[in-house]
Amino acid sequence: RKEVEQDPGPFNVPEGATVAFNCTYSNSASQSFFWYRQDCRKEPKLLMSVYSSGNEDGRFTAQLNRASQYISLLIRDSKLSDSATYLCVGSGSARQLTFGSGTQLTVLP
């Protein structure tokens, strides 16, 4: 079993839709969590950190549930430019990042 698991998608949604991605992690020692975004044939870039209390950055909301070892990302009012692969990432005590396989999102006009 992979340490970080994501639904690979693809998710195809119309512009303006709300879409949610889920991720589970198996290492209960993981301390920090993040969502990275990766455009086609580009490098990953940090989208946002994930906190237990939930955090919001514009149209993006991230949530961590430690009891269920579950992380989510919600995108509201999807834009064409949101089309990308979203990588769920966990970090343990050594601050080593463990990436999920990514969820592919395509926002359709």
Partner 1 sequence: EAGVVQSPRYKIIEKKQPVAFWCNPISGHNTLYWYLQNLGQGPELLIRYENEEAVDDSQLPKDRFSAERLKGVDSTLKIQPAELGDSAVYLCASSLGFASGSYNEQFFGPGTRLTVL
Applying CB under 8 A, which part among 11-19, 42-50, 59-67, 69-77 lies near partner 1? 42-50
Q: Which residues pair with 34 in a beta bridge?
A: 49, 89
* Six-digit token string for 42: 């580009």
Q: Which of 73, 102, 95 is nearest to 2 (CA)?
A: 102
Asked whether position 90 contacts partner 1 by CB under 8 A, the answer is no
Q: How far is the CB of 89 from partner 1 (least distance, A)?
A: 8
Tell me which of 67, 81, 94, 109 binds partner 1, using CB under 8 A: 94
Give the whole-angstrom CA distance, residue 45 versus residue 47.
6
Asked whether position 16 contacts partner 1 by CB under 8 A, the answer is no
